[in-house]
């Protein structure tokens, strides 16, 4: 089975938004063992959309559309797809009722009539109710091609893929395809990939695919077998060997994120964290509190962006800042120790550095000191995150999380 993802929306062609839907769906399909052959984007233009559907029909077994299901006059995906497959639309009373209910309950404002346009669906389709927004999705099969239509807003698209499309696609597969993802922090792409390259190319089942994202590395192991158990058995020795050769930089298999791993470790041990952030400006706190249930493990944080606030709020001695400089090992440590005390947490993290674009005349832009204070020990890493402001901030927060993970699992903390 080979799939084409057909995204509809002039905003994509204008460069107003990036096509994360195609990325997300590709990732899901890849995990399901379904090959993706093409991504196509067209605007809200019925002629070009019709042509694109006809091209997709001629080469793909599965067409997944995103976008163009909403209430505006630009939203034409259902009409065009139905016409291209020679199917009529009908007005779905159940969905209309759900949309009316959505407005009265969630929005608390009267619904404008154009919203009911979304309740028109192809005759004979399986309806995917949208519990995360208004526009329903659907699936139908005709002329040997399976079509799935999903709404464009990324949150709705992901939720509907996971909850509606995924269970359905699972029933179509032959055998089981199972993947596991090794997550790695502290090694670059070529460092991970180069020693594995020959072996990866020779592997057929399981397969191994490396990729890099936001300063982290991922190694995906995928096996196909008659049963899930057999696929798992085939992957076991491969994963064990990779973990052995990569060592402590592997922070988890199928982990969601560094912050999720750290949160789980804290919860398991009944410990808590507080963060004092300067150049990261709240990013570490934000990442810790992205996770539901964060209040059990995250006490809070201080974003001591202004230099004097480091002293007034957290009691970092002004003389220390004067002597060592605000971007220094000593100030990072003082931030970590003091935030730990102020929030009565088990661990304190202190981050101070230069996210740019301006330097301080001493350190190059990208220099960040990250400190971890525990009850009876403390650690500092000096990192150099390049010149990109976002990247520097992401890396600094990730290093703090990695230090915590290593401390709690008995690994060396300062060196990676």
Residue 415 beta carbon to a second copy: minimum distance, rounded to whole angstroms: 14
CA angle 76, 79, 83 (to 5 degrees): 135
Specify whether the CB–CB gap between 59 and 207 falls below 8 A.
Answer: no
- DSSP code per residue over 137-156: EEEEEETTEEEEEE-SSHHH
Residue 123 beta carbon to a second copy: minimum distance, rounded to whole angstroms: 26
Q: Which is nearer to a second copy, 21 or 402 (CB)?
A: 21
Determine how many CB atoms are found less than 10 A away from the CB of residue 324.
16
Residue 307 beta carbon to a second copy: minimum distance, rounded to whole angstroms: 8
Specify whether the CB–CB gap between 146 and 62 falls below 8 A.
Answer: yes
Residue 332 beta carbon to a second copy: minimum distance, rounded to whole angstroms: 16
Residue 233 beta carbon to a second copy: minimum distance, rounded to whole angstroms: 23
**Cα distance between residue 153 and residue 145, in whole Å:** 25
Nearest Cα residue to 359 out of 381, 335, 387: 387
What are the two backbone dihedrals, phi and then psi, of residue 169, each rounded to the nearest 5 degrees? Answer: -65, -30
Q: Which is nearer to a second copy, 219 or 374 (CB)?
A: 219
Residue 172 beta carbon to a second copy: minimum distance, rounded to whole angstroms: 19
Residue 5 beta carbon to a second copy: minimum distance, rounded to whole angstroms: 8
Interhelix angle 329-342/307-314, rounded to 10 degrees, is: 40
Q: Which is nearer to a second copy, 122 or 385 (CB)?
A: 385
Q: Which is nearer to a second copy, 26 or 256 (CB)?
A: 26
Q: Which is nearer to a second copy, 100 or 126 (CB)?
A: 100
Residue 410 beta carbon to a second copy: minimum distance, rounded to whole angstroms: 26
Residue 169 beta carbon to a second copy: minimum distance, rounded to whole angstroms: 15
Q: Which is nearer to a second copy, 137 or 385 (CB)?
A: 385
In the three-class reduction of DSSP (H, G, I as helix; E, B as strand; rest coil), residue 179 is classed as strand
Specify whether the CB–CB gap between 158 and 24 falls below 8 A.
Answer: yes
**Cα distance between residue 87 and residue 142, in whole Å:** 9
Instruction: Using alpha carbons, list the distances in angstroms from residue 258 to 197, 280, 385, 399.
Output: 26, 16, 18, 9
**Cα distance between residue 25 and residue 35, in whole Å:** 11
Q: Which is nearer to a second copy, 88 or 97 (CB)?
A: 97
Nearest Cα residue to 146 out of 81, 90, 89, 88: 81
Q: Which is nearer to a second copy, 328 or 338 (CB)?
A: 338
Q: Which is nearer to a second copy, 71 or 325 (CB)?
A: 71
Interhelix angle 46-59/77-84, rounded to 10 degrees, is: 50
């Amino acid at each position: 089975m080979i799939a084409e993802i057909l995204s509809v929306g002039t905003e994509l062609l204008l460069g107003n938004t990036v096509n994360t839907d195609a990325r997300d769906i590709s990732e899901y399909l890849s995990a399901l063992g379904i090959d993706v052959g093409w991504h196509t984007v067209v605007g809200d233009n019925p002629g070009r959309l019709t042509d694109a559907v006809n091209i997709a029909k001629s080469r793909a077994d599965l067409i997944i559309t995103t976008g163009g299901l909403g209430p505006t006059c630009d939203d034409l995906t259902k009409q065009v797809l139905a016409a291209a497959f020679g199917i009529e639309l009908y007005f779905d009373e159940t969905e209309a009722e759900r949309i009316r209910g959505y407005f009265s309950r969630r929005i608390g404002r009267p619904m404008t009539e154009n919203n009911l346009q979304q309740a028109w669906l192809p005759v004979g389709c399986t309806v995917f109710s949208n519990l995360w927004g208004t526009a329903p999705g659907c699936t139908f099969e005709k002329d040997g091609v399976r079509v799935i239509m999903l709404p464009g807003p990324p949150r709705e698209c992901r939720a509907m893929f996971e909850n509606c499309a995924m269970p359905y696609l699972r029933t179509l597969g032959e055998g089981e395809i199972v993947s596991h993802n090794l997550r790695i922090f502290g090694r670059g792409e070529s460092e991970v990939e180069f020693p594995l390259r020959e072996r990866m190319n020779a592997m057929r089942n399981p397969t191994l695919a490396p990729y890099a994202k936001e300063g982290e590395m991922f190694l995906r192991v995928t096996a196909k077998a008659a049963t899930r158990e057999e696929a798992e058995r085939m992957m076991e020795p491969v994963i064990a060997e990779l973990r052995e050769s990569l060592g402590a930089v592997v922070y988890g298999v199928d982990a969601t994120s560094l912050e999720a791993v750290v949160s789980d470790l804290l919860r398991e041990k009944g410990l808590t964290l507080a963060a004092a952030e300067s150049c990261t400006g709240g990013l570490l706190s934000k990442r810790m509190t992205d996770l539901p249930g964060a209040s059990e493990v995250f006490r809070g944080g201080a974003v001591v962006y202004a230099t004097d606030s480091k002293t007034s709020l957290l009691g970092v001695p002004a003389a220390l800042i004067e002597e060592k400089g605000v971007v220094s090992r000593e100030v990072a440590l003082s931030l970590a120790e003091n935030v730990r005390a102020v929030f009565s947490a088990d661990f304190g993290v202190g981050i101070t550095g230069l996210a740019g674009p301006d330097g301080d005349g001493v350190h190059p832009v990208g220099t960040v000191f990250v400190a971890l204070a525990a009850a009876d020990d403390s650690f500092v890493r000096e990192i150099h995150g390049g010149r990109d402001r976002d990247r520097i901030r992401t890396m600094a927060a990730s290093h703090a999380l990695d230090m915590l993970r290593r401390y709690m699992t008995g690994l060396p903390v300062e060196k990676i």
